[in-house]
Structure 1
Amino acid sequence: VFNYYFNKLPSWRWYYKFHYAPFALDFALYLNENDSISFSSDTPILPLEQLLSVLPPHSFNNIPSKLAHFVLSPNSPILHYFNTSFKIDINGENKLYKGIPLLPNIDIDLLHSFVFDLELSLPPSDFKRNILLPFNILYVTKNSSLPLFSKIQSLYLSNSSLIFSLDSSLDLSLSLSSLPFSLFLFFLSLPSLLYGLLHLS
């Protein structure tokens, strides 16, 4: 956890495989039996794989329609990950939304193999969505009226190499690579700042 927040992500593929948080005793027993914790070097999973890892079937309008069709087809090898009915453990709570959904853990290698077999058959625009870029991009519409947009834009307009045209529907893209720590803190506060700006306008 400390590595994640203060150094770098130690692993893109490691995940907590249980539905319930561990007790302090579990930590103590684990650390007593393991002298060190190490992770293998890996790379981020691709964008469409990330979306399939977190989206329920009723949100599949956010992935390419052809991919969604194959995911939900009767012969799909990953169909069992996208059940529309599942158990929720209320776990002592009094509201359903506070419960723990008992969903299966996704086999990321199986998911990767599934997407890899299909991505070449996707339209070029969808294929481009599944490429990892060496920098982050902020997508905005042309002449955005969001109050915060002009403030973010002013941070990057001083360096014209950070601005490039992607296509007609996404007219302006701003790279957010190499953010100084002060700007990192600024972006951490964006949700509350955006809320305030929208309600002041």
Structure 2
Amino acid sequence: MAVAVHRDLTVQVLQDGNAAKLTDRQQAVHAAVKRGDPKCLGVSQVMLGLMVMSYSIPLHFTEVTEVVRLGVPWWSGLTFIATGVVAIVLDKHSTMKILQVCLLASLGSTVLSVVAVIIYSVDIDRIPEVPCVNMHRNGCDVEYYATELSRGIKSALLVFTLAQTAISAVLGFLLLRHRRGFAQYASLTQAASSSPTSLIPPNLN
């Protein structure tokens, strides 16, 4: 802490160099959040959520399995969209509160994505092998094509969900790093800003 004493015995506390560095560091953290990473990842999550929900529509016209009964594409897709929207909002309004909300949403999306991947994997493994039976030399029967369609759609949904798991994990890691940067310097910056800027001695006359 630098102190300057004037001829009239006025003591002035100059700007603390450490406080200036802390402020610069906090601004750098804000700039890192606004650099575009949350927005890009958020848009990717929204697109994946829409793709998962749209790709799952044909499953309702095939054999109903656990994926359809549990509504996995719908709640996972809505989770992806919600997390992406929060990430986009974080890019526009970089505050500690929104950062924490986005971090929690990313962690929740990662967990739900892992659960969805497990359900898809088990459901695909349970799909029975249906042989291709020629029907009057016009190709295989309807059951064969329905089974292959179900397997293909669920495989695509599994790939999308794996991509979402990776994106949510990366976004959560970045937000956790930014949050640590905020937490490390927030208390010290507040303490520095609350310190008095000048001290005037009492009048002894």
TM-score range, shorter chain: under 0.3
Give TM-score scaled by structure 1 length. Answer: 0.24
Q: Which has the higher contact order (CA 8 A, sep 6+)?
A: 2
Larger helix fraction of residues: 2
